[in-house]
A = this chain, B = another copy of it.
């Protein structure tokens, strides 16, 4: 089999997840990892695969079928997405929802000019959750789709706690409220405030002698991050944090309720739920399925930026159309 040649830009949690995920896909191989760090300091987990300086990617366009962009959405992707779309088919998990239309346009311009296929925002939210919002809305028109996140670690909120005076380390879990989920399932189509949808639970390691009441207050009153939520703060030891909260679990639920019947007499709900031990590894696996799609679309002569909404499910599968009809449909 002619394997799809994948390369990775950015070798953090997500990039390492892509490397691990490639081993699960027998039609793919990893050909290189690109980094802004000194590549000699990086040893990949894949035998025979080297790390390269990011600026050398432009000299390897012939060896790479799809470049998986694993940088951050805040500052890396807005620059790297449009840049690498000028020379590679790409896949990314750009997740700054409000900026997706602009990001799409910037990547699309490069991709069309270069004749490349570039799939943006293809993790799980945006990504799988987006598709499920779309399907559910098309099938049950007229009501609201609800998205809940968690139980899971929010990196941004954990970072915000760490910046507070007297905090040594911290992890923050976002937890969806069962009461809200139940109300949605019952068809009450409630208007839910931030506080009514999720609560925030924080595990904090305080510096020796720090004022814990002050820290607790600083967290609970922090605008945007915590003040709009019911927030629990638990002080634990550094060892407890390491032992019990070192993972990166996440997940969530997309749920839509809708009536059917001439008089709306029947209730129906659609639910899509993820429960993930490893947010970055699962996200990486989604990116790889869309890398397969980007490769195939490119082979068909397609070009431009695509979102998960633009790609038929069959493009993600290693199976042929015939096998899909026989074993999956």
Contacts and interface: CB of A to CB of B under 8 A. Distances in A.
Interface residues of A, number: 70
A121 B326 CA distance: 12
B313 A135 contact: yes
Nearest to A25: B141
B262 A45 contact: yes
Given A100-B325, A268-B282, A312-B309, A262 B20 contact: yes
Contacts of A132: 272
A131 interface: yes
Nearest to A103: B325
Interface string A265-305: 01111111111111001101110010010000000000000
Given A141-B24, A312-B310, A318-B138, A267 B262 contact: no
A104 to B, nearest CB: 6
Contacts of A30: none
A237 interface: no
Contacts of A231: none
Nearest to A16: B262
A285 B139 contact: yes
A161 B17 CA distance: 52
A324 interface: yes
A142 B126 CA distance: 24
Interface string A89-122: 0000000010011001000000000000000010
Contact of A101 (B20, B130, B141, B326): B326
Contact of A20 (B260, B275, B289): B260
Interface in A156-215: 185
B134 A328 contact: yes
A37 to B, nearest CB: 20
A220 interface: no
A29 interface: no
A21 B100 contact: no
Interface of A: 17, 19-21, 23-25, 45, 97, 100-101, 104, 121, 126, 128, 130-135, 137-142, 185, 258, 260-262, 266-278, 281-282, 284-286, 289, 292, 307-314, 316-318, 321-322, 324-326, 328-329
